[in-house]
C-alpha cells in the first residue's frame, strides 16, 4: 500500500463511490471521508461504518491526499473548480466517469496550474442497480481500472524549464502511486490509455451495449415473453435497467464515437435483415459463422491479455 494516500475523500456515494468507500475502508488502513449531495446518504455511510467520517465535518478537504470523484462528468468539473482553493497542495484527484475527453480537457491543466495532479479514471465494473444501497466491497475484484495520464508532449524549450521537469516527475510519481493503490484494493489490472482512445473504445464496449439493450427491450414481444426466455434474454436486457440521466449525459458527451458505432452496427443488422428477407440461406450462414469466429478471436484475445497481465505483476 502506498503511504502517499492516508486520507482519502470520496465525493458522490452512488454505486461506484459507495463501493469505493466500502472497499477502501475494509481493505486498507486509510481514513475515508465522504461527501454526497444528499446528506442523509453520507450520514448512513458513516453509521454503517463504510467511511471514517463526513467530509467537511470530521475532516476538511485540505487534509485529503486523494480525492475520488464519483459524480457525473459535468458535476466533477464543477466540484473541482468550486473547491480549487481548498485542495491540499500535491493532492491527487481521480474521477470515475464513463467518458474522458471532456473532463480531462477541463481539469488536466487547471489542476496543474494549481499544484494538483488530476488523473482521468474509469473503473470497469458495475451492476444493473445504482445508488449507495447497491454498493458493496467486492465490486472491483479483478476488474480493470483505466487511467488516463496527462499528455506531456512538451517542446525542447519547455524541457529546459526546471518547474516543468519537476512537475512532470512528480506527476509520474503520483500516477504510479495511484496505480499501485488501485491494484492493492482488488483491481486486477490498470490499463493506461488516452482520453481519445478511451472514448473511442468505450463507445463500443459499454455505450453500445446499453443502447442496444434499451432498444431491444422495447419490442412488443416482450409483453408475452414470460415462460419463453432464458439466459440469452437476460444477458441482452440486463443493462436496459439503467440510470437514464447519467447515460444521457455520457452518450451526448461521446456522441461522435457512439454514432460511428451505431452506424456500423446498423450496417451489420441490414446484412442479416437482407439475407432473411431474400431467403438467402448461404449468406445468412456466412454471416452467422463470421460472428462466431469474431467471438472466438475475442476470447483468444482476452486470454492473451490476461496472460500479459499476469506476467507484468
The pTM of the full predicted model, rounded to 2 decimals, is 0.91
CB–CB of 14/131 below 8 Å?
Answer: yes
Per-residue pLDDT for 156 more than 70?
no
The answer to whether the beta carbons of residues 209 and 238 sit under 8 Å apart is no
**Which 3 state secondary structure label does DSSP give 185?**
coil
Q: Which of 125, 159, 193 is the last residue of a domain?
A: 193
pLDDT confidence band for 307 (50 / 70 / 90): confident
Write out pLDDT tens, residues 166-199: 899 999 999 999 999 999 999 999 999 999 999 9
Instruction: Copy the grid coordinates of residue 178.
Output: 495511484
162, 193, 224: which is the final residue of a domain? Answer: 193
From 142, 167, 193, the end of a domain falls on 193
Give the pLDDT confidence of 101-143 residue by residue, as tens digits.
999 999 999 999 999 999 999 999 988 888 999 999 999 999 9
Q: Are residues 189 and 249 in the same domain?
A: no
For 76, residues 6+ apart whose C-beta sits below 8 A from its C-beta are: 69, 95, 97, 103, 107
Same domain, 14 and 29: yes
Give domain status of residue 67, yes or no: yes
| 218-273: pLDDT as tens digits | 999 999 999 999 999 999 999 999 999 999 999 999 999 999 999 999 999 999 99
Indicate whether 109 and 164 sit together in one domain: yes
Look at the chain and count its residues: 313
Same domain, 186 and 204: no
At 150, list the grid cell: 496527462
Q: Do both 175 and 206 map to the same domain?
A: no
Residues 64 and 206 in one domain: no
Q: What is the pLDDT of residue 165?
A: 85
Specify the 3-state DSSP secondary structure of 124: strand
Helix (H, G, I), strand (E, B) or coil at 278: coil
Same domain, 187 and 216: no
C-alpha grid cell for residue 189?
Answer: 489490472
Q: Rounded mean pLDDT of 303-313? A: 78
- Give the structural domain span for 208: 200-312
- Identify whether residues 40 and 101 lie together within a single domain: yes
Residues 95 and 143 reside in one and the same domain: yes
Give the chain's mean pLDDT.
93
Beta-sheet strand order (sheet of 53-54)? 53-54, 31-35, 7-11, 66-69, 92-95, 117-124, 144-148, 189-193
**CA separation for the pair 207, 301 (Å, rounded):** 21
Based on the fold, state whether residues 108 and 143 are members of the same structural domain: yes
What is the three-class DSSP state of 192?
strand
CA 57 – CA 38 distance, rounded (Å): 15
Amino acid at each position: 500500500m502506498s503511504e502517499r494516500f492516508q486520507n482519502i475523500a470520496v465525493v458522490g456515494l452512488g454505486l461506484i463511490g459507495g463501493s469505493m468507500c466500502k472497499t477502501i475502508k475494509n481493505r486498507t488502513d486509510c481514513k475515508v471521508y465522504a461527501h454526497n449531495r444528499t446528506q442523509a446518504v453520507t450520514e448512513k455511510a458513516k453509521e454503517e461504518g463504510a467511511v471514517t467520517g463526513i467530509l467537511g465535518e470530521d475532516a476538511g478537504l485540505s487534509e485529503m491526499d486523494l480525492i475520488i470523484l464519483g459524480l457525473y462528468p459535468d458535476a466533477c468539473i464543477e466540484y473541482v473548480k468550486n473547491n480549487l482553493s481548498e485542495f491540499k497542495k500535491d493532492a491527487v484527484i481521480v474521477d470515475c466517469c464513463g467518458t474522458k475527453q471532456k473532463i480531462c480537457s477541463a481539469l488536466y491543466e487547471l489542476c496543474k496550474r494549481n499544484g494538483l495532479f488530476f488523473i482521468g479514471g474509469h473503473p470497469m465494473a458495475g451492476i444493473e442497480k445504482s445508488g449507495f444501497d447497491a454498493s458493496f466491497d467486492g465490486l472491483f475484484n479483478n476488474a480493470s481500472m483505466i487511467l488516463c495520464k496527462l499528455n506531456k508532449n512538451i517542446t525542447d524549450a519547455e524541457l529546459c524549464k526546471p518547474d516543468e521537469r519537476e512537475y512532470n516527475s512528480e506527476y509520474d510519481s503520483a500516477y504510479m502511486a495511484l496505480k499501485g493503490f488501485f491494484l492493492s484494493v482488488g483491481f486486477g489490472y490498470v490499463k493506461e490509455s488516452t482520453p481519445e482512445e478511451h472514448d473511442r473504445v468505450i463507445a463500443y464496449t459499454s455505450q453500445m451495449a446499453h443502447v442496444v439493450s434499451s432498444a431491444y427491450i422495447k419490442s412488443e414481444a416482450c409483453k408475452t415473453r414470460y415462460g419463453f426466455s432464458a439466459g440469452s434474454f437476460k444477458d441482452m436486457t440486463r443493462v436496459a435497467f439503467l440510470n437514464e440521466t447519467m447515460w444521457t449525459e455520457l452518450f451526448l458527451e461521446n456522441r461522435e464515437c457512439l454514432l460511428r458505432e451505431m452506424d456500423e452496427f446498423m450496417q451489420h443488422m441490414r446484412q442479416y435483415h437482407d439475407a432473411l428477407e431474400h431467403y438467402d440461406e448461404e449468406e445468412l450462414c456466412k454471416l452467422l459463422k463470421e460472428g462466431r469466429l469474431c467471438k472466438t478471436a475475442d476470447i483468444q484475445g482476452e486470454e492473451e491479455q490476461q496472460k500479459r497481465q499476469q506476467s507484468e505483476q
